Amino acid sequence: MAEEQRTTYVLVDGENIDATLGTSILGRRPRPEERPRWERLLQFARDRWDQPASGLFFLAANNDLPMPFVQALLAVGYRPIPLSGGAGQKVVDIAIQRTLEELGRREADVLLVSNDGDFVEQVGDLLDGRRVGVAGFVEFRNSAFGPLTEQGLEIFDLEYDVRAFNERLPRVRIIPIEEFDPTQFL
């Protein structure tokens, strides 16, 4: 009997990434062409760790299921997970925390797509020899993830590492001198 191939689970905190992109980077609601190309993230995970990737996209959908978006996610290989809950309940965070805990009981690698520090404890618990990464916008990533890099956590930027965007975002970041290109500023 053939051994089952290890999988990378890509857990997307859609609300967190959308809020960071809209509020902190663009200062307005992102236009469709400014949003991440989510299929590139799955391909990045496959290529980075040379194994299949399974995408889970968590979204709050208390009274309204955004069917065009759900259909687009399905078309590019994600399993949308629309959630509802009580007033003030952070349903996406709760679901991702539970999923990270369950993945800790399985032979799998994890790429969390969020800047949110609500997952630091669960991510830390996964650093037991498996491959674990956090992708987001590095300048907005919760600083509590930083010390976990010493235990093996990999940090990825959605724009610069994953290349998930078609258009360059108006971000201010520290530029390593070997990456500096003056033509980007002239």
Supply the pLDDT for residue 1. 47
Domain count, the chain: 1
Q: Residue 3: is its pLDDT beyond 60?
A: no
Q: Is residue 122, in this structure, part of any structural domain at all?
A: yes
The domain containing residue 49 runs over which residues?
8-184
Q: What is the pLDDT of residues 144-175, one digit of tens each?
A: 999 999 999 999 999 999 999 998 888 877 77
Q: Is residue 104, in this structure, part of any structural domain at all?
A: yes
Q: What is the pLDDT of residues 45-84, one digit of tens each?
A: 999 999 999 999 999 987 788 898 899 999 999 999 999 9
Greater confidence, 179 or 140?
140
DSSP string, 71-122: HHHHHTTEEEEEE--STT--HHHHHHHHHHHHHTTSS-EEEEE---GGGHHH
- Mean pLDDT for 33-50 is 95
The predicted model scores a pTM of 0.91
Q: Identify the CATH number of the domain in which residue 67 sits.
A: 3.40.50.1010
Supply the pLDDT for residue 90. 93
Angle at 118 between CA 21 and CA 45, to 5 degrees: 60
